[in-house]
Amino acid sequence: MSLLDQFKLDGEVAVVTGAGKGIGRAIAIGLAEAGADVALAARSASDLDSVVADIEALGRKAIAVPTDVTSMEALEHLGQRAVDQLGKLSIWVSNAGGLPDGTPRYLTRTPEEAWDAQIDLNLKSVWMGAVVAAKHMGEDGGNIVNISSRASIGGQIKNGPYGASKAAVNSLTATLSLELAPKIRVNAVAPGPIQTENFDASMGLHTDEQREALLKQLQIPLRCFGKEEDIASAVIYMASPASAWVTGQTLFVSGGR
C-alpha cells in the first residue's frame, strides 16, 4: 500500500452527527471523497437532503437519519440504521455540539438548566455515541473521532460551560482509547476558530470589519480563520490507516493558536 493509499476509506461506513451544515457537512463529504459510505445525522431532515445528494454524486451511498444526539434511544437507532442499510459501522464521528442556545456564559452566571443542556449536547452525546459505536463495531474494530475545541484548554472567560464540556471530551477520548484498544482507536480533533454560520452568530459577527478585528484580537499565528475543510482533512487522517499507530490523542487544528 502506498503512503497516499493509507488515507483511503474504501469499503468503510461512517456515521457523522451534526452533518447537516458547517463542519459536520464538510466532514461527511470528505469521508465520502475518501471512499466511505455515510450515515448522516442531524436534528432536521431538511438539512441533510443536500448532503445526501452531494455524497451520491461522488458515487458513494448516504442515508439521512434525523437524530437527537442527547437521546441514547435516538443514537441506538442511528447506529442500527447504518448497519442495516449500509452493511456495517466502522467510523463514528461525534461532531454535533456547540452552544445549545447560542449564548456564551460566565460559569457563575449560568443557570443550572443551561449547564445541563451544555453538558448533554457536548459531553453526554459523545459518551453515548462511543457506547453505540463500540457495540456495533465489535470484534471488527474501527475508529471513533470526537470533535473537541481549542476552547478545551486554558481559561475561557464568558465561555466556561462550553470550555469545560470540551475539556471533558479530551479526557473522555483518552480513557476510551485505553478501554477500547486494540480493536477500536479513539481520537479527537480540536478546531480553533472556523468561520461558519454558527461561529459568526455566536460571536456576533456581521461584517468583514468585525471579523478582521476579532482575528487581530485572537492573534492567530497563521493570521486567518480556519476552513471547514481543514477539520475534515484532520478527521480523514484520524479515521484512516494513515493514523494506524495513533490513539488517545487530541489534534489541535487551530492555526497555531
Active site annotation includes 106: no
Q: Give every strand in the sheet of 142-147, ordered side by side.
A: 62-66, 37-42, 13-17, 91-94, 142-147, 184-191, 250-253
CA distance 141 to 73: 22
Of the candidates 162, 199, 237, 252, the residue annotated as catalytic is 162
Going by C-beta distance under 8 Å and a sequence separation of 6 or more, which residues neighbour residue 205?
A: 199, 211, 214
Long-range contacts of 200-209 (CB under 8 A, 24+ apart): 201/102, 202/98, 202/99, 202/102, 202/104
The residues that are catalytic are 162
